[in-house]
Amino acid sequence: MIKLLIADDEKMIREGIAGIVDWRAHGIELAGVAADGHQARTLFAACRPDIVVTDIRMPGCSGLELARGIRASGSTAKVVILSGYEDFDYAQEALRLGAADYLLKPVMPDELVAKVLEARDACRAEQRHAEEAARLRAQLGESMPLLRERFLQQAAAGLAPTGEELAARLRYLGLPLAADQPCRALLVQLEPPDPASEAEPEEELQLRLLQAGQVLQQRVDGRGGIFPGPDVSSIGVVLGREAADGGGSVSLRDGEHDTGMERVKRLAHEWQAALQQACGLGSTIGIGLECGSVAELRDSYISAGEACKYKAFLGGGHVLAYSELQAGRPALSAYPEEAERELVLAVKQGESERLTELLARFYRPSAALLEPEYAVMQAMRLLSAIGMELLTLSVRAAEVLGPDYQVWDRLHRSGGVLPDLLAELEALLDRLAAAVRARHTRRDSDNRTVAQMIAYLQAHYNEPFRLDKLSEQVYLSPNYVCSLFKEETGRNISEYLIELRIERAKALLADPELKVYEIARRVGYTDSRYFNKLFKRHTGMNLSDYRRTPPFA
């Protein structure tokens, strides 16, 4: 209920205002009646009314001073000033201070009640607005973690904005990352239960994985953020400058004499301990290379994933820094980039028949130099590159081949013996190529289905349209028909049908014998006036005016 405070040094006036109407019947509670300005100030502080009706001249504290004090307190209370004619300049000053209105004495009762009710309505509108704003803020607060995760996931895919737009996004999301400062990505791979032990119920495992994300978020707060990794058992982390809270900053630079990497590794070890203690999960953490800013995060994230692949040889539970692993593995500099591009293209085009030849070419330049573990590492790197490219075709390698750790285990069992490794790798790539071909087949099928829909619409455009009839033609549900048509053509069915009918109407306008209502009926509209309006909306002219333009005129 809206609260009202009355302040006037004349008893008859203040009692008259208090009893002029049943205020409660109007949703207003009489919170207090003050005989002077000082008493009004005290009552205002005690009851915090929404509306104040005050005389402008009172002993001790004028209505003008009362209004000034109300505004200074931060209150949004509506102040209605009662003023004599000689006080008009003061009333104007009160309005400048934010008073809702003023009334000249003697005040008519109906006029006073109307002003108070106007103030009541304004208070209610502000309350509704504040409630809605609070609701939206609460919704935004609930969704903000998801928005942060999506943004960082996009940044890791190379889709982050740059410059001021990036800075604005980081500020909006409340991420402790600077647009122009270095950062790096880490990949946390949670160790699955030992397959040899009793299997853990899927629901319990999912809860533990969810808890792991919460543990990491708590540990990363103030330094960066987390986002979903490439599969359900991995979590990406972006680590930037530590928030300026007196705790200094974590140096991220890579260098022989720099302690920054040791600090990052120490943080990673702390995360591992926390995950083990809180969730009972082991983990391998890959530390990517430093990048110049969040806009360049993709390469850092890829290198973090590459570092994690070394657990196939070292076992789980390690913190693996890509820069250190690369420094000790000069043989990887001979990686066959060109052969990789050819293999990526072959799989992307679904060409299984070329895999044997291309894989032999992939390993031929360095086969004699590669130790077995590096041969497997090259296979992992190749699969990673292909997996990234296949995302553009909506083909997820993890869904086709299974989680990364299963693929790595399968390749590692080859022992790096080239014939065995090639056989395993070719089988994996063949499955990916088959998935691509299946995707293309579905796409071709969708194209044919939409072509069939268009043919039906072109044959029956002059009939009343029924979605169920169109659905029967292609043996699909109405909802799927709508979504498929929109996906393939960029327009919904009703938009296409309107454009088709308008084009048919344009052709019919060439016959001067046809009346407008006849043309409307021939293209499927019984209401010629409605069709005329529709035609004008799309062409800028009604049917008659259009007929008078070239080439019809």
3-state class (DSSP) for residue 235: strand
Q: So what's the pLDDT on residue 22?
A: 93
Least confident piece of the model among 27-36, 241-250, 257-266, 396-405: 241-250
Per-residue confidence at 249, pLDDT binned at 50, 70, 90?
very low
Q: So what's the pLDDT on residue 471?
A: 86
Per-residue confidence at 348, pLDDT binned at 50, 70, 90?
confident
The CATH fold of domain 157-328: Alpha-Beta Plaits (3.30.70)
Only one residue has tokens 């002077």, namely 36
Q: So what's the pLDDT on residue 244?
A: 28
Per-residue confidence at 340, pLDDT binned at 50, 70, 90?
confident
Q: So what's the pLDDT on residue 116?
A: 92
Least confident piece of the model among 180-189, 195-204, 209-218, 281-290: 195-204
Q: So what's the pLDDT on residue 255?
A: 44
Q: So what's the pLDDT on residue 259?
A: 47
Q: In this structure, are residues 459 and 473 in contact, taking their beta carbons and an 8 Å threshold?
A: no
* 195 has a pLDDT exceeding 60: no
C-alpha–C-alpha distance, residues 332 and 178, integer Å: 33
Q: So what's the pLDDT on residue 193?
A: 61
Strands, sheet with 319-321, edge to edge from the N-terminal-most edge strand: 224-228, 234-239, 183-190, 283-291, 319-321
Phi, psi of 335 (to 5 degrees): -60, 130
Q: Give the pLDDT mean for 309-314.
A: 66
Q: Give the pLDDT mean for 218-235.
A: 90
* 64 has a pLDDT exceeding 90: no
Q: So what's the pLDDT on residue 189?
A: 93
Any idea what the Cα angle at residue 240 is, between residues 239 and 242, rounded to 5°? 110
Q: What percent of the chain has pLDDT over 90?
A: 27
461-547 maps to which CATH number? 1.10.10.60
More confident residue, 258 or 145: 145
Task: Match domain 2-129 to its CATH number in 2.40.50.140, 3.60.140.10, 3.40.50.2300, 1.10.3720.10.
Answer: 3.40.50.2300
Per-residue confidence at 484, pLDDT binned at 50, 70, 90?
confident
Only one residue has tokens 């008009």, namely 88
**Distance in Å from the first CA to the final CA of the chain:** 69
Would the pTM count as exceeding 0.85? no
* 273 has a pLDDT exceeding 80: yes
Per-residue confidence at 445, pLDDT binned at 50, 70, 90?
low
* 108 has a pLDDT exceeding 80: yes
The average confidence (pLDDT) of the chain is 81
Buried b (16+ CB within 10 A) or exposed e, 23-39: beeeebeebbbbbbbeb
Listing DSSP states for 472-484 in one string gives HHHT--HHHHHHH
* 287 has a pLDDT exceeding 90: yes
* 387 has a pLDDT exceeding 80: no
